Amino acid sequence: MYTIVVADDEEELRRAIIRKIDWESTGFRVVGEAENGIEALELVERMEPDLLLTDIRMPFVSGIELARQVREVRPTTQIAFLSGFDEFSYAQQAIQYNIISYMLKPITMADLTEELKKIKLKIDGIFAEFDTRKNDNPNLQQFFLPLLLDDYVNFDSGEREEKLIEQAIANGFLKDRNNSFEYAVLAISVEDRDGQNCTRPELAHSADMILQKYMKHYSFAMDGRIITILAATRTTFEKYLHIAVGEMVQSTERILNMHCHIGVSRIRERLGECHEAYHGAMSALGYCKPGESGIHYIADEERDNSMDMEMASEYVVQMENLIRSGSRTELEQYLKTVFEKLESEQDAQLKCKFMIFRMSSALIRIAYTVTDDSALFQRFAMLEGPVREVKDRFTSLCLEVWELINAGKKKSSQILCEKAMQIIERDYGDPTLSLVGVSNNIHVSPNYLSALIKKETGASFVDLLTKKRIETARELVLGSAMKMREIAERCGYSDQHYFSYCFKKYCGMSPNAMRQEKESL
């Protein structure tokens, strides 16, 4: 059974739709109703419906702008428009904004019921296609594998870049040289509710199904993960990347009932830099926590550096993941288990020293991303002597780096939230102020900033911005002689009616009523 939110400013029509439609027969269950675009957006964000059925002309936010904002907060929600006008311009943007149906008013309940059944079949098809196998292009996979994995090439070679572009065109990844593409890599894994990796090769098609709406891409399965190479202009990356990965996570949770982890690399200017992008995406994937979906951008987690990521053994990979996203107890217990296992084998001394050497290399690299403390790095030179003493010193160093990373995360999140709050405090009067704009201003992804703000404050970006605007407006209503239109504009509202709606919702009375009450005292 799919879920639906019904939105229409005509209460009689809205209530008739909810009351008269046999929802069970259509395959939908109503989870909310809204009388304007803002309420519809709030319900979409809170209830996460599969379908929004809305009149195309709604108070405050409507039409394509409503569809655009719905896509920002819930990319997997499909939209069905009801309209009294045959506006073909909306059909042209249907795919981009998840507009699954366009119905003309007046419409009978019988016709609406039949259309809802058709929409249900379309959503069935979307769900089925998301979990369908695809026919892979072996030539592209053979092209990209060495590009991602080969550590022994001259990455600064202009001649090599030219050859790579030629091969990408020959294999069908690029159409021609007439583009200003940059490149990024995604590392994707899926796990069930018990924490077991369930990343099947056919999920590459699921990723492609979403990405085809936004940018050039190629996905393939490798070692229990889906690896995706993206090609787009810098503007396209900034505008759509966070939407695309958000839709992947939401679709995986809703359609497959599984957790989705996505590591996102930095954007690279050259195709030949996909090697570094791959290692960045894999490192970002290590920050994802088991048992919950997550999107991690390596640019949000680690400062940029030129050190190549090493391909590590299972021990090293698990150690890195625990340092990044595990608890102190889990890390300490894991190291103890590793050394106990090594000490039980033949040539235990040699194997322990070799593993400490390998782990130290990875640990130094991780420490380098979060600190420039020379004293810490000097202590790595002390990893010599009897194995028993060395492993204790190494464990101590691991725990210290774990503390640095977690302290850094806390400090970084606090700083980012403070920056966001400062921007809200300074620019709340700008009607175009948005989460995407603020995230671009402080150079992090919208997904990351949204999650940090929610974690640090318990409120969403929109909640904080509305609170600042309305509290300022209340002060002006009670303490100045400004007209309501002037107060609305001062506080970032270009529509006075929308301002009054938000004010009443937040304060319990309209701004005019509040001023009149004060004057009557």
Express each pLDDT in 253-290 by its tens digit.
Answer: 988 899 999 999 999 988 888 888 998 999 999 998 88
Question: Do residues 294 and 288 make contact, with C-beta atoms less than 8 angstroms apart?
Answer: yes
| pLDDT tens digits along 352-391 | 777 888 788 888 888 887 777 676 777 777 677 777 788 8
> 3-state DSSP helix/strand/coil percent for the chain, to nearest 5?
60, 15, 30
Does 397 score more than 90 pLDDT?
Answer: no
Which of the residue ranges 77-91, 148-162, 252-266, 448-462 has the most confident prediction, judged by mean pLDDT?
Answer: 252-266
Confidence of residue 305 (pLDDT cuts 50, 70, 90): very low
Per-residue confidence (pLDDT) for residue 88, from 0 to 100: 54
State residue 234's pLDDT score: 92
Residues 221 and 201: beta-carbon distance below 8 Å: yes
pLDDT at res. 233: 94
**Residue bearing the bigger pLDDT, 26 or 151:** 26
61 close to 38: Cβ distance less than 8 angstroms: yes
- Cβ–Cβ under 8 Å, residues 249 and 182: no
Q: What is the pLDDT of residues 186-232, one digit of tens each?
A: 999 999 988 889 998 888 888 888 898 899 999 988 888 999 999 99
Question: CA-to-CA distance for 315 and 327, rounded, in angstroms?
Answer: 17
pLDDT confidence of residue 452: 85
Crossing angle of the two packed helices 348-370 and 314-325, in degrees rounded to 10: 40
Q: Are 345 and 352 in contact (CB under 8 A)?
A: no
| Distance between CA atoms of residues 41 and 67, nearest Å | 9
Q: Comparing C-alpha atoms, which of 314, 304, 130, 155 is closest to residue 219?
A: 130
Q: Check residue 112 and give left, alpha or beta (phi > 0: left; psi -120 to 50: alpha).
A: alpha
| CA distance linking residue 181 with residue 458, whole number of Å | 38
CA–CA separation, 337 and 395 (whole Å): 12
Report the DSSP pairing between strands 225-232 and 216-222: antiparallel
Contact 358, 312 (CB under 8 A): yes
Q: How far apart are CA 244 and CA 53, in angstroms?
A: 23
How far is Cα 105 from Cα 86, in angstroms, rounded to an integer?
9
pLDDT band per the 50, 70, 90 thresholds, residue 310 = very low
- Burial label, 508 (beta-carbon count in 10 A; 0-12, 13-18, 19+): exposed
**pLDDT score of 321:** 87
Q: What is the pLDDT of residue 304?
A: 58
Q: Please give the Cα distance from 71 to 81 (Å, whole number).
A: 15
d(C-alpha 16, C-alpha 75), whole Å: 28
Angle between helices 496-507 and 511-520 (to 10 degrees): 60
Of how many residues is the chain composed? Answer: 521
- Residues 384-409 have a mean pLDDT of 81
Distance of CA 204 to the CA centre of its chain: 18
Q: Is the pLDDT of residue 178 over 70?
A: yes
Predicted pLDDT of residue 205:
87
CA 478 to mean position of chain CA atoms: 41
Name the pTM for this structure.
0.61
The enclosing H or E element of 417 equals helix 387-427
State residue 407's pLDDT score.
Answer: 73
68 burial class (0-12, 13-18, 19+ CB within 10 angstroms)?
middle
Beta bridge partners of 53: 6, 80
What is the reported pLDDT for 475? 94
Q: What is each CA distance from 25 to 22, 117, 119, 120, in whole angstroms?
A: 6, 8, 13, 10
Find tokens 């990209």 and name the residue. Answer: 144
Tokens of 57: 């002309």
Across 63-194, where does the E strand assignment appear?
78-83, 99-104, 182-191
Q: What is the mean pLDDT of the segment spanning 451-466?
A: 88
- When pLDDT is cut at 50, 70 and 90, the band that residue 90 belongs to is low
**Predicted local distance difference test score (pLDDT) of residue 144:** 83
Using pLDDT thresholds of 50, 70 and 90, give the confidence band for residue 150. Answer: low
Q: Please tell me the predicted confidence (pLDDT) of residue 303.
A: 60
**More confident position, 369 or 239:** 239
Q: Categorize the per-residue pLDDT at 135 as very low, low, confident or very high, splitting at 50, 70 and 90.
A: low
Residues 377 and 364: beta-carbon distance below 8 Å: yes
Mean pLDDT of the chain: 85
- pLDDT bin (cut points 50, 70, 90) of residue 408 is low
Most confident of 115-119, 122-126, 406-410: 115-119
